[in-house]
């Protein structure tokens, strides 16, 4: 059996950055569902949290998992579940685009704390500002559909 530990910090937005997840109660239900569904599907989510218009997940990849497949599973299934539960008045959708960056073992606690403190973080900085920081920090090309 192989021993693998590859952590990925993923971030994705609601469609058009609509604040569908505006209440703390809705967010907690969604994050809990994402955790439970991922566990059933064999996806290890170390930490999940977000704000009214986006989600952060710290994921550890399994031996036969790809980022793309995990993101399809998490985003597609949670979107379906949110609509089935009528958690939003309008049809809920996640944006197609997402960020995914590797996290070294030495930075795991720092990333967990960053994800954990999204509520406080976004009182001072919008998702668009956060997006711009990620684009610069990781030298991504800015994408018109995401930011």
Task: Report yes or no on whether pTM surpasses 0.75.
Answer: yes
Tell me the β-bridge partners of 45: 59
In whole numbers, what is the pLDDT of the chain averaged over residues?
A: 90
Q: Given 3.40.250.10, 3.30.70.1290, 3.40.190.10, 3.30.70.1070, which CATH number is that of 6-137?
A: 3.30.70.1290
| 100 phi and psi angles, rounded to 5 deg | -150, 120
| Mean pLDDT, residues 1-11 taken together | 91
Say how many Å lie between the first and final Cα of the chain, rounded: 41
Q: b vs e for 42-68, b when ≥16 Cβ sit within 10 Å of the residue's Cβ?
A: ebebbbbbbbbbbbbbbbbbeeebeee
| Mean pLDDT, residues 44-71 taken together | 96
pLDDT digits (tens, 9 = 90+) for 71-106: 999 999 999 999 999 999 999 999 999 999 999 999
Domain boundaries, the chain: 6-137
């Amino acid at each position: 059996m192989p021993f693998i530990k590859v952590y990925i910090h993923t971030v994705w937005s609601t469609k058009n950055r609509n604040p569908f997840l505006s209440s703390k109660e809705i967010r907690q239900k969604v994050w809990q569902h994402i955790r439970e569904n991922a566990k059933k599907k064999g996806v290890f989510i170390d930490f999940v949290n977000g704000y009214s218009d986006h989600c952060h997940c710290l994921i550890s990849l399994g031996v036969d998992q790809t980022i793309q497949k995990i993101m399809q599973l998490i985003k597609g299934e949670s979107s379906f579940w949110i609509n089935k539960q009528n958690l939003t008045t309008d049809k809920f959708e996640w944006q197609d685009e997402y960020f995914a960056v590797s996290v070294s073992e030495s930075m795991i606690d720092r990333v967990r704390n960053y994800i954990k403190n999204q509520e406080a973080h976004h009182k001072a900085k919008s998702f668009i500002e956060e997006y711009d920081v990620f684009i610069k920090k990781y030298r991504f090309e800015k994408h018109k559909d995401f930011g």
